[in-house]
Structure 1
Amino acid sequence: MPDSSATHATEPAWDGRRMVVACSADHMRQLHAQAAARHCIDAEPGAGKLFRALEIARRDNRTEISTGDLQNATGLTQEQFLAAVQWLERDDPSPRRPADQP
């Protein structure tokens, strides 16, 4: 089922689709209606791609990764990349500090 928030952990071709299981045809219709009512957020797919790239870097024990490398790994344009970062930071309660402060 289409879902802008769905990002597959390893297969980018499956991004934007969520697998659902329904117990009846009526239940499946309800799930489709819920999905159709949900607004697609343009930055959401990019945020998923960015998160996946970060997870892959973490699994590869990369302790540092440049924003350029992340952008290349996601395949996002600069505008999409920035929107994805903003989307991921929208609920981040951590205070922002200058880089020279602990």
Structure 2
Amino acid sequence: MAAWSGWPITLFLLIPVGTAVYGRVRDSSSVHPINPARDGQRVLTCCSAAHLAELQQHYRRRPFVNEELWAMKIDRAMRQHSHRLTNEQLIRETGLNLIQLEASATWRYRRHYDIPKSAGEQ
């Protein structure tokens, strides 16, 4: 049994060694713990090509939401510090701009309180 230990979980794979099938999909809820170049990509480990295809189809149907990705980038930056970060520090740490910081905060607020977008919003 192979084990992968990474933030925030440890995953035990019940796939015989040498038989796993791997793929990568776009996923706005996924950020890499240390490599921002891999943000928005989720690595999949599957027991068969058919299962990989099923998961890839699932992620194709899931919308890629930029504001969600930005919120995840902010979360990663906050986890790396023991104190609150200013907007200027968040901009430097995440590579986002102030408009993106505000959009991610609005997205998170609306999602938490289940508030729909108003007419005309994208």
Q: Secondary structure at the match of 2:42?
A: coil
Take 2:96 and 2:44, find their aligned partners in 1: how far apart are those partners?
Answer: 27
Q: 1:10 aligns with which of 9, 34, 39?
A: 34
Offset of 1:28 from its aligned partner?
A: 0.8
1:70 paired with 2:90, answer yes
Offset of 1:65 from its aligned partner?
A: 2.3
Q: Secondary structure at the match of 1:39?
A: coil
What's 1:33 paired with?
A: 57
Offset of 1:87 from its aligned partner?
A: 2.7
Relative to total residues, which structure has the larger helix share, 1 or 2? Answer: 1
Q: What amino acid is the match of 1:49?
A: K
Corresponding pairs, count: 88
Q: Secondary structure at the match of 1:6?
A: coil
Check 1:30–1:79 CA distance in 2 against 1; reply closer, same or farther (3 A cut): same
| TM-score, with length taken from structure 2 | 0.65
Offset of 1:57 from its aligned partner?
A: 1.4
List structure 1 runs of 4+ shifted beyond 4 angstroms. none
Relative to total residues, which structure has the larger strand share, 1 or 2? Answer: 2
Take 2:112 and 2:56, find their aligned partners in 1: how far apart are those partners?
Answer: 28
Which runs of 5 or more structure 1 residues have no equivalent in the other structure?
93-102
Higher relative contact order (CA 8 A, sep 6+): 1
- Contact 2:77/2:93 (<8 A) preserved: yes
Q: What amino acid is the match of 1:56?
A: Q
